[in-house]
Structure 1
Amino acid sequence: MAEKQSVSVERLIAASAEQIFDVLSDPSRHCEIDGSGSLVRMTSSHTRLALGSTFSMRVHLGVTYPTKNRVLEFEENRLIAWAHWNGHRWRYELEPTDDGGTLVRETFVWGTARWPRVMELTGYDKKNVPFMEATLERLAAIFETPPPATPDTDTDNAA
């Protein structure tokens, strides 16, 4: 879905679309990957999301408040998007790559909001780019964590 009033970021992540989708469709993991730092905690059940699912969380943007989201777009292992009361949307599209990784595109759509012009005038629309970049970085870190260091096995210098 191409939207005039949207902004997207992309990142190639070394994990399958299925693995990534499992994280995105688990609302209990949203605070873990949130790059904005505004998600405080989940307040609803931790059931896997599907089309029409709702989930609630506490958000902190100057003040802490509850918000309820509804999944509006859903295609297993390929697409998930949700919105809250104002109607702006967060969308994740997953495109598997030939090397077993996945191109993840996060899009913030404010054209679906009740008051899109207010979001533009306050700059809220553009403020999301670095947050989305940080979210994809945190999502990638789940799968791209380097293996633990092993002790030096150099035996040539053994006494």
Structure 2
Amino acid sequence: MVTVVDVDAGPRTVARRVEVAAPAAEVFAILANPRQHHELDGSGSIRDDVPVLGPERLSVGDTFTVALQQSGIPYQATSTVTSFEDGRVIEWADSYGRKWRWELTDTPAGTTEVTVSMDDSCAVTPLFDQLFGDDDRYASAITKTLRKLAHRFALDADAIFPPRTLSPLCHARWHSPNLKAAG
């Protein structure tokens, strides 16, 4: 079960955190490549049938444009990277001035704490966001995105290190031709 927790980041910021079964560098590689953002999108608004415009790997000052769709209406949005610490932090401001920030922290267990926040204090449409309850929509989309991210790496971990039980392992060893030949 994936647990996404609410993070208090101030009155104009929606933030959530999850622990992911992967090192921060692996998670960051997806975030730094805007062509992979649709793979994590919990809102369902990023279209993967239209090419992303921008660099393969983002850095401060870079812009990237993605195709989106909401309520059946297609549009494009261009974002500008405003903060970048390789393997730890990436933040971009969307076309409306909202800042989307991803912060990654390696844990001693080899997992990564991932915190995503959306700050609309500089948004050009804050009244619209407040009137139509977009904070709830953003909180839901961030939560779904973090769950999708956690499941992605949980599935990868299961493929590499499948869950084991002792009885099949012992049974396989007992019937091994090598053990019979040695006996």
Task: Normalising by structure 2, report the TM-score.
Answer: 0.77
The corresponding residue for 2:58 is 49
The corresponding residue for 2:118 is 108
Alpha-carbon deviation of 1:96? 1.2
Higher relative contact order (CA 8 A, sep 6+): 1
Where is the strand percentage greater, Structure 1 or Structure 2?
A: 1
Answer with 48-57 or 135-144: which moved more. 135-144
Larger CA Rg, structure 1 vs 2:
2
Aligned length: 155
The corresponding residue for 1:13 is 20
Select which of 61, 66, 75 maps to 2:70. 61
The corresponding residue for 1:32 is 39
Alpha-carbon deviation of 1:46? 5.0
Q: Give, in whole Å, the separation in 2 of the partners of 1:45 and 1:109.
A: 23
Matched, 1:4 2:4: no
Q: What letter is aligned with 1:9? A: R
Where is the helix percentage greater, Structure 1 or Structure 2?
A: 2
- Contact 1:80-1:93 at 8 Å conserved across structures: yes
Q: Give, in whole Å, the separation in 1 of the partners of 2:138 and 2:12.
A: 13
Alpha-carbon deviation of 1:141? 2.3
Structure 1 pair 105/149, CA: closer, same or farther in 2 (3 Å)?
Answer: closer
Q: Give, in whole Å, the separation in 1 of the partners of 2:41 and 2:63.
A: 18
CA offset digits 1:15-66 (Å, max 9, x no partner): 1111111111111110010000000134314510111111111100120011
Matched, 1:120 2:130: yes
Moved over 3 A (4+): 152-157
Q: What letter is aligned with 1:56? A: T
- Contact 1:55-1:69 at 8 Å conserved across structures: yes
How high is the sequence identity, in percent, across the aligned residues? 31
SS where residue 47 of structure 2 aligns? strand
| Structure 1, unpaired ranges of 5+ | none
Answer with 2-11 or 52-61: which moved more. 2-11
- Contact 2:46-2:68 at 8 Å conserved across structures: yes
Answer with 82-91 or 41-50: which moved more. 41-50
Q: Give, in whole Å, the separation in 2 of the partners of 1:135 and 1:46.
A: 22
| Structure 2, unpaired ranges of 5+ | 1-8, 176-183
Q: Give, in whole Å, the separation in 2 of the partners of 1:115 and 1:142.
A: 33
Task: Normalising by structure 1, report the TM-score.
Answer: 0.88
Matched, 1:23 2:26: no
- Contact 2:54-2:62 at 8 Å conserved across structures: no
